Amino acid sequence: MTRRGLLIVNTGNGKGKTTAALGLAFRALGHGLRVCMIQFIKGKWNYGELKAARRFEDLMEIHTLGAGFTWESENLGRDTRIAREAWDFAKQTIAQARHDLIILDELTYLIAYGMIDEAEVVGVLKARPKAIHVVVTGRNASPGLIEAADLATDMQSVKHPFDDGLEAQRGIEY
């Protein structure tokens, strides 16, 4: 069977965009597919998914290339440079075609903040090797990115424990 890679976008203000992408990653791993996740915004925190991914080192790579949450940045120029470097790494990873599934976690923010041009991102994703699946996550996915997607999901928050003053729970939200 010839496989055609899909472009999947998980966006919206609700929680679960990255979690859904990781669920897809673990499904792919279960079928022996090679997975690469590139995180554009998250800093060097100790996420549960990073711990779990270490158990699949032969099939899964996670590259946390962000500098933390850029909307809290004190040095936007530095963050833009780091974002560009991460995008260059992502383009190389896509072109190398060593993975069956590539997750570009929180890439939408780089477009929304004007760090990377939407047309460039869409062009690279459309020109990727045909068998590679790509998942893009993050709020405020651009219209061009959604148009290019084969599947786009808008996650909406209905209720969240933070609204009642509960902090993020280890193993559930990180």
Q: Is 173 exposed, middle or buried (0-12, 13-18, 19+ CB in 10 A)?
A: middle
Structure tokens belonging to residue 144? 């061009």
DSSP summary character for residue 55: G
Pull the structure tokens for residue 133.
């699946």
Edge-to-edge strands of the sheet including 151-154?
A: 60-64, 35-39, 101-105, 133-137, 7-11, 151-154
How far is it, in rounded angstroms, from Cα 152 to Cα 8?
6
Active site residues: 13, 15, 17-19, 27, 69, 71, 106
